[in-house]
């Protein structure tokens, strides 16, 4: 069994500035989540009707400091090759599939519906992760949570450093190319974020991410 990555703190845990940002993020996420409840319910209902399956999935990822994170998303894949792969509750299917993210591709055959493609292109499928921000498991801005396979194969000895900060809904590489970037480039940008994290970088990521959400570029 592989040993757990060594977690090295990239920033002081008691830094007042970052604690303030975390408080603002959690408050903002709560307000947005409450305001979006009607829209989220509509999206969930449409997905349920189109797919005939639970509207939410919880995919197993590696979270902050190596903890398990069952990352919530709206279901957007129910085509060939996307069979049931986990425990299904009334509204959520828990999926422990390390290969899933690695198999994503443009014109993915598992994405069979225009509504699902629209949700993926504009990151509507990621909105349930606001709950993780509210609960403190994730941040709005930070490295995207990875599967254990991605951590082992693509991050290696750098994994502990990346896991020393909370994973985010949006990060540096999501604002600079998203799905079109190689894993090598993603690791490089994640490390740049962790090692050079600043308020200026935080704001630049926000300013780049918002247009990406509207245009839907560089993702599938």
Mean pLDDT, residues 89-115 taken together: 79
Residue predicted with more confidence, 141 or 97: 141
* Cα dihedral 142/146/152/158 (nearest 10): 0
Task: Kindly write down the DSSP assignment for every residue of 50-65, as one continuous string.
Answer: HHSS-SEEEEEEE-GG
Predicted pLDDT at 86: 66
| Cβ pair 10, 198 in contact under 8 A | no
Q: Torsion-angle region of residue 69: left (phi > 0), alpha (psi -120 to 50) or beta? A: beta
pTM score of the predicted model: 0.86
At 43-56, the pLDDT tens digits run 999 999 999 999 99
Beta-strand ranges (E) seen in the chain are 56-62, 68-74, 86-88, 92-95, 139-141, 168-170
Please state, as a whole number, how many other Cβ atoms lie within 10 Å of the Cβ of residue 79: 13
Is residue 4 scored above 60 in pLDDT? no
Top pLDDT among 95 and 220 is at 95
Stretch 17-44: mean pLDDT, rounded? 96
Average confidence (pLDDT) over 169-193: 89
Q: Is 155 exposed, middle or buried (0-12, 13-18, 19+ CB in 10 A)?
A: buried
In the predicted model, is pLDDT for residue 133 greater than 60? yes
Q: How far is CA 119 from CA 46, 204, 214, 219, in A?
A: 11, 24, 11, 11
pLDDT at position 103 is: 63
At residue 5, does pLDDT exceed 80? no
Residues contacting 28, CB < 8 A, separation 6+: 140
Instruction: List, for residues 11-20, the tens digit of each pLDDT value.
Output: 444 477 889 9
Q: How far apart are CA 172 and CA 201, in angstroms?
A: 9
Mean pLDDT score, 162-176: 91
Write down the mean pLDDT value for the chain: 86
Residue 95, φ and ψ in degrees, nearest 5: -115, 125
């Amino acid at each position: 069994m592989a040993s757990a990555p060594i977690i090295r703190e990239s920033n002081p845990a008691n830094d007042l500035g970052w604690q303030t940002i975390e408080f603002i993020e959690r408050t903002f996420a709560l307000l947005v989540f409450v305001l979006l409840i009607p829209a989220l319910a509509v999206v969930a209902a449409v997905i349920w009707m189109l797919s005939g399956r639970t509207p939410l999935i919880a995919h197993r990822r590696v979270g902050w400091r190596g903890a398990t994170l069952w990352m919530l998303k709206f279901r957007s894949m129910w085509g060939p090759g996307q069979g049931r792969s986990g425990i299904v509750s009334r509204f959520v299917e828990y999926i422990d599939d390390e290969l899933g993210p690695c198999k994503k591709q443009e014109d993915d055959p598992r994405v069979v519906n225009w509504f699902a493609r629209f949700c993926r292109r504009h990151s509507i499928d990621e909105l349930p992760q606001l709950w993780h921000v509210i609960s403190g498991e994730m941040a709005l801005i930070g490295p995207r949570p990875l599967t254990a396979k991605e951590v082992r194969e693509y991050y290696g000895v750098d994994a502990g450093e990346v896991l020393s900060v909370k994973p985010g809904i949006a990060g540096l590489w999501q604002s600079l190319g998203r799905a079109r970037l190689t894993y090598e480039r993603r690791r490089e940008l994640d490390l740049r974020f962790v090692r050079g994290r600043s308020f200026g970088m935080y704001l630049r990521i926000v300013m780049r991410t918002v247009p990406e959400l509207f245009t839907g570029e560089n993702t599938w």
